[in-house]
Structure 1
Amino acid sequence: MLIDCKGNFSMHCYTWLSFALALVQQWTYLPCVYSSNANDLEQISRTSLREKHGWVQNPMVVHEEQVLTHPLQFNQQQSNLDKQKTSQKNVLSNNELQFLNGPYEATIPEMSAEGTSVIQVTASDQTGARLFYSILQGQPYFSVERTTGVIRTSSPMDRETIDQYFVVIQAQDMIGQIGGRSATTTVTINLSDVNDNPPHFLHRRYHMNISEAAPIGTIVGKILAEDSDIGDNTAMNYEIEGHASHIFYIITNNKTQEGIVILKESVDYENRSRYDIRVKGINRHIDERFLQDGPFEDTVNLKISVDDADESPVFTSKKYAMEISEGAAVGSFVGAVSARDPDDANSPIRYSIVPGSHLNRWFHINAHNGTIIVTKPLDREVAPQHHLIITATESMNPKQISNVNVSIQVVDVNEYAPELSKYYEIYVCENAMFGQLIQTISAVDKDSPMEHHRFSFSMDEATTNSSSFAVKDNQNNTAEILTKRNGFYRQEQSVFTFPILIADNGNPPLASTSTLTVLVCDCDTEVNIKFCRYGTLGISVEAFVAVVACTLIILVFVLAILAFRQQRKKSLFHEKGEEFRENIVNYDDEGGGEQDTEAFDIPTLRNHSVLREHKPRRNITTQIQSLYRQSLQVGPESAIFREFISQKLEEANSDPDVPPYDSLQTYAFEGAGSVAGSLSSLGSSSLDVDTDYDDFVQ
């Protein structure tokens, strides 16, 4: 029988199929009844009945709600007398039942609540049959929804106990019926860790040792708090409780989660030899769901013993700062350093300045008490500050030494009073108003350092009351000059002066008084400095320039006349192309004139060695000039005149730079009472020549 439902099982098609099944069962009823004894049937057919063929039907399977896309031949009957033909049609079925993506694997957090979805499994036979799922392995921790294949948790699970589960799921298409098919798959379920376990120290007490000579930063020891969790849930922080946190601190090794105890401050065996500390280990990542079971932390006792060591001397200060005045005398006290032996031995300390520095030449330290004194005068301008390194050494163990830095500041002596930084030209307009700023002034001090100077500006009480101006101190080493009245009249008073007091902050403080001058200007709104400078003279700027120009012209003219006169005087004794060679000799015997050659020996007179004796040269020019000025007022018989002549001759004879023959000595007077008269050719000159002999006196 062939039924074509055109690919769709409607209600009509389903009814026909049921009817066909019933009909087949009726047709096959008798053969099925008698098939149990074939011999009996054969005997009956031979004896009492007409031989009739029977139908043989194979088992038939039809899936309900099966969706077909083409006609399906689901059964074929066969006659029992057909011995030769064995052709039959079995039930047609698509590929077998199987899970699509098996085997499966999933991960869920441990301690998940009951009913938490884990994963969904899906099976198919590609026929569209309805499948049912069941769990074969994995109870009581997991369950599966019968129709959807969703696996869910049935109870909380602890990863620290079991961290992986294997679940077996079965899918069936005809549950409890003959011909039904099934398939199975496995699901591996892993449990991820949650922070559900607090830390726990391996030991209830730790013991460590540290030497008192250990430097800051030394590792004292390590501790460890275990955690059953894994990954980030084991991350740990450690805390030191109490006052000991100032002496020690603890950090975490992020790889091993160990707590590393480190020395934070130096320890002293003589002061304290043991520290009892409580250390707390706390998880960094805490799941609040489990806080109800108690705090996620653990505490342990830590005992740290301090070992005694031979320590270096310890100064009372880490560094020293001292001051000394630059005017301090040699031997003056600068300051003192002090160190002690921290050990019980209490060894005496010896002090010294580290050699190799030129600065130790200015200072000396007492080896026994550490006092520092000055050994040379100090000059702040040369070295305003000195830096020394002082060494402290134990007498009983010279290997134990310590150093300290000493800074010595040379304090400047307040030697100079402050003064105005420059000369100020101060001007005020006639129409100036009350309180108007006309000048800002500043002061300087030759003492150093300049950056520490503080100057104050003021006027005495009497000046303040009578002055038309006021001084306002700006508190920054400057001051403002302000007017104290409205308007000034230049014709009435064009210049104002008033004293100003400037004081410094030195020790002791010094002060000086300066006078400020204010000129009144005829201006509109702003001061015209050029007009103020020259307007007070009563002339305009153009007139002043003309006066200066005329003065320069007159000066040039006078200088030209003087130069011409000087040139004229020189021409009386020297003309171009003519030379004078004449020696004037003074002697007592005037002789018989030019014809007398026996009165004296000419070669002898020409002998330089005879005429001039070698005498030490004296600086008598000033004396000769003084005598000359006096001789002009007396006659030739005067003692002053004679002294002048003698000095003049002595100068000529003792001058080694004057040529022996070509020389000219000029005298203001040639003497009187001689019958023969003068032998000099100068005496024969014309009397009307006005010769000024003053220019030729050496």
Structure 2
Amino acid sequence: QQYYCQTKNLFINFQYTNKYYQKMLIIIYINDVNDNIPICKNFHTNIQLNENEIQTNIYQIEAFDPDLGENGTITYSLLDYNQYFSINPSTGQIDCIKSIDYEEYSSIDLHIIVSDQGSQIQLQTICTTVHITINDINDNTPQFLLDNYSFTLFSDMPRYSIFGQILAIDFDKNDHLIYSINPNPYITINIHTGYLRLKYNLHRLIDQILNVTVQVSDGLHKNESLVSIYIKSFSDAQQPILLSEQAYGLTINESLSIDSIIINIYRRFQILSTTIDFIEIIHDEIKLPFSIDQQGMMTFFSFLFFLLIKKGF
């Protein structure tokens, strides 16, 4: 007895050892059954894509199916994000067909479906995930929190006093904002924090309005805002606020939640809020993550602070 097998057919030869025998050839045809799920070469892939960029062939999916004929013929499709991407059903080439804003999506997990074309039953699976990191591009112009800023200063305000802050925001993730001010003999601005500082006395500008232009830049885009400063005389009858403590230490728990109220400044220094027209937290070098309202309530963000209280401002 002897036999051998080919890819699709099985040939079996029978031979009898009796004196009288007969040879017979039996051919068995093996029908391929669609019993294999398509498999991708890579289960997970990481790629990068710049925001606001339409690009073809950002990645090529490779899959295989060991079944024969239509049972092993593969087609590709997307599970989601069809508004931004397309995939060639035959080749697996992925294209970006619509620009993506980083501020909307910083990353996308694109799931790829692979199907075979079995005549009786079709098998499909999510065979791979393409993790797409969206690169942030400097495409946003810095925006000031206010269209215009206005301040009222007393004519006898000491030189080098900090009297206000100009703030801008930029929706681009890694942009570092730089502030500048048009040349003038009275006002300077901290390039990093936007704090305004008096560099010369204002006695000659009583009852006048000083207009300066502040500019903010992210290195590529620029924006401007007008700052109007009204100077008025300081009444001799007014007396300065005398605080019971020149310095005050405060300890907070590092696990304190954001927007928690730390302390009421008015109660701490035993002064009536009705005697205070202006109160703010200042520091010339960095943006401090604290806030304070006109009722003296200090709200937590993080770390140390300096406090400036001015009367009649």
- Tell me if structure 1 keeps the 8 A contact 2:38–2:74: no
2:211 maps to which residue? 276
Return closer, same or farther for 1:178/1:252 CA change in 2, 3 Å cut-off. farther
Tell whether the 8 Å contact from 1:209 to 1:220 is kept in structure 2 after alignment. no
CA shift digits 1:252-284 (9 cap, x unpaired): 33xxxx422122223225667431222222221
Alignment partner, residue 261 of structure 1: 196
Aligned residues: 215
Which residue, 141, 145, 149 being the options, matches 1:198?
141
Larger RCO of the pair (alpha carbons < 8 Å, separation 6+): 2
1:158 aligns with 2:101: yes
Structure 1 pair 266/119, CA: closer, same or farther in 2 (3 Å)?
farther
Whole-angstrom CA distance in 2 between matches of 1:121 and 1:104: 10
Amino acid at match of 2:117: I
**In the alignment, is residue 304 of structure 1 matched against residue 229 of structure 2?**
yes
Shift of 1:127: 8.3
Q: Residue 180 of structure 1: CA displacement?
A: 5.5
**Does structure 1 residue 183 correspond to structure 2 residue 154?**
no
**1:111 offset after TM fit, Å?**
0.2
Q: Percent of pairs identical after alignment?
A: 23
1:3 to 5, 19, 31: 5
Alignment of 1:393-472 (within 5 A): none
The AA in structure 1 aligned to 2:225 is: V
Superposed CA offset, 1:401-421 (max 9, x none): xxxxxxxxxxxxxxxxxxxxx
- After TM superposition, give the deviation of residue 158 of structure 1 in Å: 2.0
- Report the structure, 1 or 2, having the larger strand content: 2
| Residue aligning to 2:181 | 240
Residues in 2 aligned to 1:196 and 1:251: alpha-carbon distance in whole angstroms = 25
Letter in 1 for 2:189: I
In the alignment, structure 1 segments of 5+ residues that lack a partner are 6-16, 24-54, 64-92, 287-295, 312-698
Are the structure 2 counterparts of residues 3 and 205 from structure 1 closer, same or farther at C-alpha, using a change threshold of 3 Å?
Answer: same
Asked if the contact 1:143–1:154 (Cα under 8 Å) also holds between the matched residues in 2, the reply is yes
TM-score normalised by length of structure 1:
0.27
Structure 1 residues 126 and 204, CA gap change in structure 2 (3 angstroms): same
Q: What corresponds to 2:169 in structure 1?
A: 226
Aligned 8 A contact 2:208 2:230 in 1? yes
- Partner secondary structure for residue 246 of structure 1: coil
* Shift, 1:175, TM fit: 2.4
Task: Note the C-alpha offset of 1:112.
Answer: 0.9
Q: Distance in 1 between matches of 2:203 and 2:144?
A: 30
Distance verdict in 2 for CA 1:120–1:246, change over 3 Å: farther
Q: The residue matched to 1:60 in structure 2 has which SS?
A: coil
Counterpart check, 1:251 vs 2:186: no
1:230 is displaced (CA, Å) by 1.8
Equivalent residue, structure 2, for 1:383? none
Determine helix, strand or coil for the equivalent of 2:194. Answer: strand
1:61 aligns to 2:63 (yes or no): no
Q: Distance between the aligned counterparts of 1:120 and 1:247, measured in 2?
A: 62
Contact 2:79 2:111 in 1 (8 A): yes
Structure richer in helix, relative to its length: 1
TM-superposed CA distance for 1:110, in Å, is 1.0
Say if 1:194 and 1:96 are closer, same or farther in 2 by CA, change over 3 A: same
Cα deviation 1:455-480 (Å, max 9, x = unaligned): xxxxxxxxxxxxxxxxxxxxxxxxxx
SS in 2 for 1:198: coil
The aligned counterpart of 1:168 is 111
Separation in 1 of the partners of 2:172 and 2:96?
A: 21
Alignment CA distance shift 1:97-1:273 (3 Å): same
Q: Which amino acid aligns with 1:183?
A: T
Secondary structure at 2:160's aligned position in 1?
Answer: coil
C-alpha deviations, 1:164-185, integer Å up to 9, x for none? 444221224x425346643313
Distance, in Å, in 1 between the alignment partners of 2:4 and 2:32 is: 15
Question: Residue deviations 1:506-536, cap 9 Å, x none?
Answer: xxxxxxxxxxxxxxxxxxxxxxxxxxxxxxx
Q: Provide the rounded CA distance (Å) in 2 between the counterparts of 1:104 and 1:272.
A: 67
Shift of 1:195: 1.5
CA RMSD, aligned part only? 3.8
CA–CA distance in structure 2, aligned partners of residues 114 and 108 of structure 1 = 9
Give the counterpart letter for 1:236 in structure 2.
L
Using the TM superposition, give the Cα deviation of residue 142 of structure 1 relative to its aligned residue in structure 2, in angstroms: 0.7
- The 5 A counterparts of 1:331-346 are none
Is 1:123 matched up with 2:63? Answer: yes
